[in-house]
Amino acid sequence: MALAQIHPLASILLKNEEIIRQIKLYGALLELQGENSFKVRSYQTAAFHLEKLEKPLAEMSQAEIEKLEGIGKALAAKIDDARTNGQFRQLGDLLAQIPAGVVAMLSLDGLGVKKVQTLWKGYGFEDLTALLEACENNQIAPLKGFGAKTQENIRQALLFRLENTGKVRLPQAEKAAAQVLAFANAQDISLELVGQLRRSLPVIEQLDFLTSGPDETKTFCRP
C-alpha cells in the first residue's frame, strides 16, 4: 500500500470495532430520541457492512470510505472525525442530551431501545439503581409491554453489571459491614456506621464508618 493512502494519524486512530460501536450507539440514540426509522436503519445497515470489512479504516482515505457499501459522504465524515478525535461530534452532542443512566440501559440484556424509551420517557427512569430497586419491588412487571419475565431479565442484567463495577447489593454490604464492626469491637475500636449503608440504599459502592478519636476521622472501605 502506498504511504499516501494511509491516514496521517493512523497510528493513534480508533480500531474498526470502536468506530462500529459508536455508529451503533448513535443509531440507538437517534431511535431513543424518536428519529425516523429510515435514518435509524441507515446506521444499523452501515454497521452491518463495516463488520464485514477486513481492512482497517485507519488505513483508508475518507474518499475510499465514502465508496464502501452502506456508507456515503455524511457517514464517512463522521468516521473520519471519530478516528481522528476519538468520537464523532454528533455522537457527543446526543450523549450530552441523554442521561448517562439511560445510555447505560441500552447495553443491558433484555432491554431493547423501545423498552428503554418507555422506561425513560414514559416512566421517568434515568438511573440504573432506581431501575433495580423498581425490579426488586415488582414495579416493572405490571407495566405494559414488560411482564414478570422481562423484569427478571432486567434485574439479572443489572446485578451482573453491579458485580462487575465494584458495587454490591444491600444484603451483601450489610454482611461485610457486620464483619468490619465485629473486628473493630474485638480490637476495642469504636466505629459508627454512616453513609450509604446507614441510609439503606439498595446498591452500595463503599462502606463508610466514623471512628472516635482525636480528629474524629471518617474511614472508607469497599464492601
Averages of pLDDT over each 10 residues, the chain, 223 residues: 38 76 96 92 95 92 93 94 90 94 90 93 93 94 93 91 68 76 78 79 74 53 51
Provide the pLDDT for residue 57: 92
Total-model pTM: 0.68
User: And the C-alpha cell for 11?
Assistant: 497510528
> Closest Cα to residue 210, out of 201, 197, 62, 27?
197
Other CB atoms within 10 A of residue 181 CB: 16
Q: What domains appear along the chain, each with residue ranges and CATH number?
A: 3-97 (1.10.150.110), 100-163 (1.10.150.20), 168-221 (no CATH)
Provide the pLDDT for residue 167: 66
CA gap 76, 62 in Å, rounded: 6
Q: What are the residues whose beta carbons fall under 8 Å from the beta carbon of 125, sequence distance 6 or more?
A: 101, 102, 105, 119, 131, 134
* Residue at 106: amino acid letter: L
CA gap 27, 33 in Å, rounded: 10
**DSSP of 137-189:** TT-STTSTT--HHHHHHHHHHHHHHHHTTT-EEHHHHHHHHHHHHHHHHHTT-
Provide the pLDDT for residue 212: 66
User: And the C-alpha cell for 96?
Assistant: 450530552
CA gap 136, 152 in Å, rounded: 9
